[in-house]
Amino acid sequence: MAEQKINNLEQALRNRILARAKEINQKLLVRLEATAIDLNNNRHLAALGGLDGIEREIGEMRSFLLLLR
């Protein structure tokens, strides 16, 4: 019984981690799409702005995914 509760808790935690990683991924995709549009319209400064801080968000998503190893 206790082992089943631990397994359920572990699965719930894994699901929450995956959900958070998917949320971050979706935000990144939206940002990259907007950046691509800016580049296609020769708005290089807007594209730079769209990329500002993206490394931190990628790192955050990576950290969540590493928790699942």
Q: Profile the chain (69 residues) by mean pLDDT over runs of 10 residues.
A: 86 96 98 98 97 97 96
- CA dist 67 and 53 (Å) reads 22
For residue 6, the model assigns a pLDDT of 81
Q: Which helix (H) or strand (E) holds 34?
A: helix 2-40
For residue 3, the model assigns a pLDDT of 86
Closest of 65, 60, 62, 53 to residue 16, by C-alpha: 65
Closest of 25, 54, 48 to residue 35, by C-alpha: 48
